[in-house]
Amino acid sequence: MKSKEKEFLDLIAKHQKIIHKVCHLYTDNQDDHEDLFQEILLQLWQGYPRFKGDAKVTTWMYRVSLYTAISSIKKKHKRKEEAIYIQEQEQIEKTDPYEFENLRAAIDTLSETDKALVMLYLEEKSYKETADIMGMTESNVGVKLNRIKKKLKEILIAQ
């Protein structure tokens, strides 16, 4: 196996959770999850020779994964994406199922970009990391997150 291929496969093995998180956020069944996962892998493989290491590899993977997912959804004209990714099973168990479903429903009303921002926020990414992944300024990330939080709060209060 060529060294670049092995390098790429090692990279995917080490960071495949990133791809799965994005797939989970934007799909609602296993078949769509697997299809999107394969599409993201293809985009990462095609882009890997151009990756220069200017950004962290995880930032690059998030960016490619998110853009591929959003592009895929726009092409299919479907709104099947999941609202939120909960990183640990414990968090789900601690959350009141009714509150969790209300939050998911509220997040479902957001645009794809806003959903991605929520996911990165919940993963405790810094504004800088989020800005790098999303291709926006840190201040824009802050403004957008504040607006998203306000909108979600209004929706949840109205329920």
Final residue of a domain: which of 30, 50, 82?
A: 82
My answer on whether 74 and 88 are in the same domain is no
117-129 pLDDT, tens digit per residue, is 988 888 888 999 9
Distance CA 33, CA 40 (A): 10
My answer on whether 154 and 92 are in the same domain is yes
My answer on whether 45 and 4 are in the same domain is yes
At residue 83, the pLDDT reads: 40
Widest pairwise Cα distance in the chain = 58
My answer on whether 102 and 137 are in the same domain is yes
Say yes or no to pLDDT of 86 above 90.
Answer: no
My answer on whether 78 and 88 are in the same domain is no
Q: 22 with 69: CB under 8 angstroms?
A: yes
At residue 85, the pLDDT reads: 42
pTM of the model: 0.57
My answer on whether 127 and 152 are in the same domain is yes
Residue with token string 């956020």: 25
Angle at 98 between CA 147 and CA 144, to 5 degrees: 10
Cα atoms in the 13 Å half-sphere on the side-chain side of 153: 6
- Per-residue pLDDT, averaged over 52-79, amounts to 80
My answer on whether 61 and 91 are in the same domain is no
Looking at residue 85, what DSSP letter applies? Answer: -
At residue 92, the pLDDT reads: 47
Distance CA 104, CA 85 (A): 10
